[in-house]
Structure 1
């Protein structure tokens, strides 16, 4: 794309969304060339390695160009949108580069400014209201829109809407209309877009249109690709080979950050994992009692609350476990505060937000913090700051019915506690075999700074508190 030098055109750059992040992926554009924007209006949603955030434009004007399509990963400081301001606001919008959209710029009335959440740079994530793209503007005259659609379809088919024959290779001006992900899908499936009949608005080809193009015709054997769409399989390939049997998902955003962190942790810190199986019947009874306590009305009270408190008690009794390894300085950094991380599975992937200074919170305060942490994570609103600075983590694999696991440390932390499923099992209690609520705990720790004795003491203390929760008082 030609660089704009007009002084009346402002280039809005990818801002630094905090926590030292250097890039972000564009999830959604809420504007298109020709749209009028106002100061503070959200123009796009981006995803960093930590969270999804909305970006507001800092001035009034008319969108001249979008420099990157949805799905692009852009470095901080790179211009992502050009806006005509002042005299430049009245200038015609520059055609968007091919990767952003293949449809001509359309005209229409100005779309209303998004309502609801106020635009911020950090702290908002994916939600139902924010991920819906604004509807594309259409022609004011319905008949004109219908004629335009028919004309586009005629160009795509070469003979008009009813022409069955596939055209020759289209010229640049007759290029089929499709978004980049749809073009990639067509390429992967060996589909010539010039042969696909569009069903989307303004004659745009959709993913369903591409899949329909490779579906077997009536009377055709399943799995057989049309001769005009995909080449015949090589002699070494089975005749029934189906190109849609695999799905490739780009590694980006949270998944890429998690993968890099786990690989770095696994091959940097020597992991040791210890296990203990414990009777938590009394803890489960205490959970039920707390649910009836007026002081906990409206708060999330569950086993994780008491497990978190048990770990905080164990850390207070064994403070050396709450530390990190400084490779550059060759020092062990003991933390006198506990930022308690809770691993949360979300639609965006695994994230580990943490409760700041959890050691200073009362049990009701901890219940409130855990409830807010979980609800915020599920709604995709966890901020990057909430996932930084953790010192120790709990991962509750028991919610999936798993007995336990060998968790990998979060980078910069020395210990992580895995909690297995709590199940009714036969257990020797007061000399007799009785059905009791039992679970298995697993503690992974960094053996560079935590030896077996320290790790064993911490795990044993957690188990002791859960077996006899009155120790929350006697060990306080």
Structure 2
């Protein structure tokens, strides 16, 4: 056996270190190339680190919660000597060097993932090989549809579905006269008798999409992920989230839990005392947010400009377009209109779409419009970036915002999808409230906060009447932007929101 050490690669553009959030393996575990061994938090994203070897985990060199510099050894594997020569011949040095990104490393692994088989060479990336193992598919029997016969995940699923259909046909024809056909047993992995019996009928599907963390939770709770009900889809396939798995498991456990709960309730009520203090780890996304907010607040002198837009016409326009959007499967929100109005304002006042480069002593005006949308998630605030907003229509923007927000909440968003922003919008009004003093997403120079859209009293020709209004809170870096420019920009945004038909021009 040979011991191979694996160093932490660059898990994001320009990132020098990452926090090891969780280990997915333990010493003694057997892993295959492509299996996820750890999760690393950086730049507001959770990145999965795949194994580069087939072997056995020998030692873990970092604890969960540790900050690990790029290039440090994080794990070692015992690899069979017989495999070492083949690996050296087929793959480049896989220990990783500082500056190599996870995406680059994955590409190298995919290009080298060709194994000698009796039928010849099989080209398949680690993700396809892992999926084949999960579905019980012999990778050598899968017909690849990619360039040069490369096998994709879709090829593996198609082969598995074809094989299952063949098995079902064979089983039906094998029933002899006089025998009754018994319903087939579920083919999902690890479902317990309690879950199968108590949680309702099994979902009618053979393929279920879910992120690795969701699959790990299902396995931990003994839940058949194919049996978890869901109305969510992705690429036409059922998509299950962690919340779905937990709800499914809780429904299955309710009968047993209720039986014991009443017996213990009296004793616990008499003895339990609430803790005076509790601690929550300050790490991961929460710490990243804290550090970035402190950098912004202590670097850029903030000034906040408040105003209110009257948007009765916007409310009517959105209501008229909602039906058309729904026919296309898109949920049209006010955010799409705000994005277009903001870009219109930035084009008139480009100083707000800028960055101060103190080292070179210049202000960089951005002639492109990549707008960040702050999204509240269970792990903290994330800011996906909608690129080239000026080149996209309302429905396209609404669809992209929804997709990015969903990926952020599911922790499946990539670091690249949260980089390159030039201006940020934060919608605190979704949780109530009118005005705030948002902190700039440094090194940007401005951020726009949106309050709750409500009917409020306004004065028109001396008469007080109710109108839909949208409170606006614009924070600026006062080193770069003057108050007058902030006010003019806000007035422009208000104008386009008050008369949304101008956005079509």
Name the TM tier (shorter chain): 0.5 to 0.7
Corresponding residue for 1:206? none
Counterpart in 2 of 1:341? 372
1:132 correspondence with 2:217: yes
1:362 aligns with 2:356: no
Q: Distance in 1 between matches of 2:332 and 2:133?
A: 40
**Which sections of structure 1, spanning at least 5 residues, go unmatched?**
1-5, 91-111, 119-124, 137-215, 224-241
Distance 1:68 1:114 in 2: 28
* Partner residue, 2:303: 272
Partner residue of 1:252 out of 263, 268, 283: 283
Deviation by residue 1:184-220 (Cα, 9 ceiling, x = unmatched): xxxxxxxxxxxxxxxxxxxxxxxxxxxxxxxx99999
SS in 1 for 2:486: helix
Structure 1 416/135 Cα, relative in aligned 2: closer, same or farther at 3 Å?
A: closer
What is the DSSP-based 3-state SS (H/G/I as helix, E as strand, rest coil) of the residue aligned with 2:367? coil
Asked if 2 retains the 8 angstrom alpha-carbon contact of 1:290 and 1:296, the reply is no
Relative contact order, higher structure (CA 8 A, sep 6+): 1
Q: Which among 453, 457, 464 is matched to residue 422 of structure 1?
A: 453
Query: d(CA) in 2 for partners of 1:61 and 1:127?
Result: 20
Larger Rg: 1
Using the TM superposition, give the Cα deviation of residue 444 of structure 1 relative to its aligned residue in structure 2, in angstroms: 0.8
Count residues in correspondence.
346
Which position in structure 1 is the counterpart of 2:53? 59
The CA distance in 1 between the partners of 2:399 and 2:271, in whole Å, is 59
Matching residue of 1:325: 356
Which digits, 9 at most, give the CA deviation of each residue in 1:157-203, with x for residues without a partner?
A: xxxxxxxxxxxxxxxxxxxxxxxxxxxxxxxxxxxxxxxxxxxxxxx
Q: In structure 1, the residue corresponding to 2:346 is in which secondary structure?
A: helix
TM-score, structure 1 normalization: 0.66
Equivalent in 313, 320, 330 of residue 299 of structure 1: 330
Corresponding position of 1:459: 490
Structure 2 length-normalised TM:
0.63
1:398 matched to 2:444: no
Give the Å deviation of 1:406. 0.8
Secondary structure of 1:404's partner?
A: coil
Correspondence 1:433 to 2:427 = no
Structure 1 residue 63 displacement after superposition: 1.8
Q: Using a 3 Å threshold, how does the CA distance of structure 1 residues 449 and 115 change in structure 2: closer, same or farther?
A: farther
- Report how far residue 463 of structure 1 moved: 0.9
Match for residue 314 of structure 2 among 283, 286, 292: 283
- What is the match of residue 28 of structure 2? 34
Q: Deviations over 1:336-369 (max 9, x none)?
A: 0011010111111011111112122222222222
Distance 2:214 2:348 in 1: 46
Q: Using the alignment, how far apart are the partners of 2:383 and 2:415 within structure 1?
A: 10
Q: Is the 8 A contact 1:83 1:89 kept in 2?
A: no
Distance (whole Å) between structure 1 residues aligned to residue 328 and residue 220 of structure 2: 43
Distance 1:19 1:12 in 2: 20
* CA shift in 2, pair 1:135/1:428, >3 Å: closer
Displacement of 1:221 after TM fit?
7.0
Counterparts in 2 of 1:134 and 1:295: CA distance versus 1, 3 Å: closer
Once residues 66 and 74 of structure 1 are traced to their aligned partners in structure 2, the CA distance between those partners, rounded to angstroms, is: 12
Paired residues of 1:30 and 1:133 also in contact (CA < 8 A): no
Select 1:83's aligned residue among 54, 63, 77.
77
Counterpart check, 1:314 vs 2:308: no
- 1:430 to 1:282, Cα distance in 2 relative to 1, 3 A: farther
Q: Secondary structure at the match of 1:248?
A: coil
SS at structure 2 position matched to 1:470: helix
Over 3 Å counting, the alpha-carbon distance change for 1:370 and 1:87 in structure 2 is: same
**Is the 2:335–2:398 Cα contact (8 Å) retained in structure 1?**
no
Q: 1:26 to 1:335 in 2, by over 3 A?
A: same
Q: Kindly report which structure 2 residues correspond to 1:45-194, keeping only aligned pairs within 5 A, or say none.
A: 45-87=39-81, 128-129=213-214, 132=217
**Cα offsets for 1:312-345 (capped at 9, x unmatched):** 1111122222111111111111000011010111
Q: Please provide the CA RMSD for this pair.
A: 3.2
Query: Partner residue of 2:234?
Result: none
2:22 match: secondary structure:
strand
How far is the alpha carbon of 1:447 from its aligned partner? 1.2
Distance in structure 2 (CA, Å) of the matches to 1:396 and 1:270 = 22
Query: Cα–Cα, structure 1 residues 31 and 313, in superposed 2: closer, same or farther, change >3 Å?
Result: same
